[in-house]
Amino acid sequence: MQQNIEVIADIFCALKTPLRFPMYVTDQINSSESEGAFNEFVEEQLENLVDAILTEGDLENFGERGSDILVEMDDIVAPTFVYGDEGEEGGGSGGGGPGSGGGKIRFNVPFRYLMERVSRSLKLPRLVKQGHGKIKEVSYEFKTFAPSGIVLDKKRTFKRALRTSIGMDVYAPHEERYEFQFMRRDRRFKVPERVEKPRFKAVVFYMGDISYSTYGERLHLEKRLVNFIQNWIDYNYGAKNVDHRFFVHDAEAYEVQAEQFYQVGNSGGTHAAPVYQLIHRIATNEYDPASTNFYGFYFGDGELFDDDAKEIVKILEEHLRPIFNRIGVIEVQPGRLSLLNRQIATQFYRDSIIRLGELNDKLETIEVIKTLFAEH
């Protein structure tokens, strides 16, 4: 019941319906009835969205980094809202139950809500935050709620009113009654509290091979996976505590803006070791390794010269693994001459920090994500 009330409350907040209350309330509500069919439409749409992400690799559904997800549902009619004491009709007027009007409803699924559902489905643990948390972040959070105050918590108020309406038997979808009764005692206000927390910094290095052999669908597969990684690490650390930095290489390595990460070079040469050397210099010269969480992800087709692959293994062992939380090396549609991951696997078999993945099509994206972030 609690989960269904949460979903209906999310929809109600999306409707931006104003709340008004009577002056007096006397009844006591206690009910465990189901809210009925209205929220089933919502649950179905959310499940379809998550299923598409998890089974088909449709990571485009995440939209831009950290943005909410727009969900559209067909044939939804919002319930009738009644404001006032029991039996007293007020500002709302309404129609029938859900699915009876032939219209549409659109609402945003919060970014964190979607990530929580995805992480539960994939059994992804929260990332471990290392370092000393030297920087203290002071904020005012609404951690407690009271029946009086200034800032009305619309969602919590609605959830209490929904329980009230169920208990009063005015909201009973199974009997085609969809009225909501808002009582004064249902109101809940946000109470701010001063909170001081250690702030953990995360830096994510994305490394891409843009030599002439990397193009087309390979870049699209990279972009989907990078989009998820950005969202996942933002979700764990908070977007304002994360630096996302992009590096590319052909025969040489250099830093680029995010949009340039997917551009194809035309030199034809491939030498990957310099990009690993570059991120090591930046990690140690521009950040404090003792208080920073480093993540690195390399994307390429794996077709390197043998001495190049051996040099990368040496850099990983001596410089990056000791200070990085996680390093992912993903071969995207590897060619028949691919040997990078074979070289790394020989040295770091079943390593908890260095993870190896192979991505041939979007259906494999979820398995690669689990390889990168699931418990070893």
Choose from 162-171, 205-214, 294-303 the range with maximum mean pLDDT.
Answer: 294-303
Identify whether 107 is part of a domain. yes
My answer on whether 234 and 273 are in the same domain is: yes
Identify whether 91 is part of a domain. yes
Positive or negative torsion for Cα 98, 99, 100, 101: positive
Identify whether 192 is part of a domain. no
My answer on whether 360 and 319 are in the same domain is: yes
What's the confidence (pLDDT) of residue 247? 96
My answer on whether 220 and 91 are in the same domain is: no
Q: How far apart are CA 249 and CA 260, in angstroms?
A: 12
Residues 349, 360: contact at Cβ < 8 Å?
no
pLDDT confidence band for 6 (50 / 70 / 90) = low
Instruction: Report the range of poorest mean pLDDT among 16-20, 108-112, 188-192, 260-264.
Output: 16-20
Q: Is the pLDDT of residue 194 over 80?
A: no
Q: Which of 196, 258, 195, 203 is nearest to 226 (CA)?
A: 258
My answer on whether 211 and 311 are in the same domain is: yes
What's the confidence (pLDDT) of residue 98? 44
Choose from 20-29, 34-43, 176-185, 329-338 the range with maximum mean pLDDT.
Answer: 329-338
209 beta partners:
249
My answer on whether 174 and 248 are in the same domain is: no
My answer on whether 267 and 369 are in the same domain is: yes
Query: Which whole number is the average pLDDT over 16-23?
Result: 46
DSSP for 75-127?
Answer: S--PPEEEESSTT---S-----STTSS--EEEEEEPHHHHHHHHHHHHTPPPP
Q: In which domain, by residue range, is 173 found?
A: 2-126+153-185
Total tally of structural domains belonging to the chain: 2
My answer on whether 256 and 326 are in the same domain is: yes
Identify whether 292 is part of a domain. yes
Q: Is the pLDDT of residue 3 over 80?
A: no
CATH number, domain at 228? Answer: 3.40.50.410
What's the confidence (pLDDT) of residue 212? 53
Mean pLDDT of the chain: 75
My answer on whether 280 and 326 are in the same domain is: yes
Q: How far apart are CA 49 and CA 314, in angstroms?
A: 42
What's the confidence (pLDDT) of residue 97? 45
My answer on whether 170 and 242 are in the same domain is: no
pLDDT confidence band for 230 (50 / 70 / 90) = very high
What's the confidence (pLDDT) of residue 326? 96
Query: Which whole number is the average pLDDT over 212-230?
Result: 80
Residues 327, 296: contact at Cβ < 8 Å?
yes
My answer on whether 206 and 332 are in the same domain is: yes
Q: How far apart are CA 18 and CA 152, in angstroms?
A: 11
What's the confidence (pLDDT) of residue 256? 93
Choose from 33-47, 83-97, 216-230, 353-367 the range with maximum mean pLDDT.
Answer: 353-367
What's the confidence (pLDDT) of residue 106? 67
Q: How far apart are CA 317 and CA 319, in angstroms?
A: 6
Report DSSP state, residue 184.
Answer: G
Q: Is the pLDDT of residue 187 over 60?
A: yes
What's the confidence (pLDDT) of residue 219? 80
Q: Is the pLDDT of residue 302 over 60?
A: yes
Q: Which of 309, 221, 311, 213 is nearest to 266 (CA)?
A: 213
3-state helix, strand, coil in the chain (%, to 5): 40, 25, 35
